[in-house]
Amino acid sequence: MGLIVLNVIAVMLETVDSLYASYATKFLWFEAISVAIFSIEYISRLWAATEHPDYQHPIWGRLRYAFSPYMIIDLLAILPFFFGAILDLRFLRALRLLRFLRLFKLARYSESIQLFVRVLQLKREELVITSVVGTIILLMSSSLMYFAERGAQPEEFSSIPASLWWGVITLTTVGYGDVTPVTPIGQVLGAVIAVTGIGLFALPASILASGFIEAARGKIDQCPHCGQEILEEDLEKILESD
């Protein structure tokens, strides 16, 4: 993990012209050593893949393992070095940072994370509907502000897509202040939209909170027929009625 972080830092430092001009050789050596280590790791993992029950076949098992997400990331981490002479693919080395996703394996051993994932699955329909409603409100807000402000500020509100930036910043209540309405109707709309944003972003929190409350009342189970998440106590009532 430390080597991955150092490589990402090196990619960023190489974009500083003064540093790269002074330490170009050291950057190259560090890159070569890093790629050698990553290549050995990649080949070792590919060779030992047959020890896993899912990849026991010496050929097809290794091929299947090579196309697994983490192995693809590992391959993309070393390819830029070999193709660097042909294409400028140095930015792909930043994909090594994606190895931090392996930390999510801790979810297998954490009941709290497993509970959070199951609550997300239980409330996925409500969360999707909330996202759709939020998108509609964003589009409507940006469109209204475009028509209200385009005459007074043709550069800032040149189009509805350009107005989306103001809509996102206002609905999320961030308020950078780089683009603000100046007309009376625009200011009234801005105030209403800002207040709407407070309630809009409170919805997902309340939906997740209700999911945790339901999970605390009883274990969440899954219907064997439709796959719908249900509480264990509700499942017992259904079985008793049958």
Tell me the whole-structure pTM to 2 decimals: 0.55
User: Residue 209's domain is classified under what CATH number?
Assistant: 1.10.287.70
Tens digit of each residue's pLDDT, the chain (242 residues): 677 777 778 877 877 888 888 888 888 888 888 888 888 988 998 899 888 888 888 888 888 988 887 788 778 777 767 766 555 555 555 555 555 554 555 555 567 777 787 888 888 888 999 899 989 999 999 999 999 998 898 888 888 888 999 999 988 888 787 888 899 998 999 899 989 888 888 888 888 888 888 777 765 555 545 555 555 555 455 445 55
Q: Which residue, 232, 222, 224, 238, is CA-closest to 122?
A: 222
- Answer yes or no: do 70 and 134 share one domain: no
Give the pLDDT of residue 42: 86
* Domain that residue 179 falls in: 117-241
HSE value, Cβ hemisphere, 13 Å, CA-based, for 81: 22
State the SS3 of 58-118. CCHHHHHHHCCHHHHHHHHHHHHHHHCCCCCCHHHHHHHHHHHHHHHHHHHCCHHHHHHHH
- Answer yes or no: do 24 and 90 share one domain: yes
Crossing angle of helices 124-149 and 111-122, rounded to 10°: 60
**Which residues, 6+ apart, have CB-to-CB distance to 157 below 8 Å?**
145, 146, 149, 150, 163, 166, 179
Q: What tokens appear for 99 in the block?
A: 């190895």
Of the three residues 105, 126, 149, the one that is the final residue of a domain is 105
- Answer yes or no: do 93 and 181 share one domain: no
Of the three residues 41, 70, 105, the one that is the final residue of a domain is 105
CA gap 147, 153 in Å, rounded: 10
Q: Is residue 70 part of a domain?
A: yes
- Answer yes or no: do 128 and 182 share one domain: yes
CA gap 201, 171 in Å, rounded: 8
The tally of domains found in the chain comes to: 2
CB contact burial 33-67 (16+ within 10 A = b; e otherwise):
ebbeebbeebeebbeebeeeeebeeeeebbeebbe
CA gap 235, 223 in Å, rounded: 8
Give the pLDDT of residue 124: 86
Give the residue carrying structure tokens 């964003």: 138
Give the pLDDT of residue 136: 93
Of the three residues 43, 77, 105, the one that is the final residue of a domain is 105
Q: Is residue 112 part of a domain?
A: no
- Answer yes or no: do 131 and 225 share one domain: yes
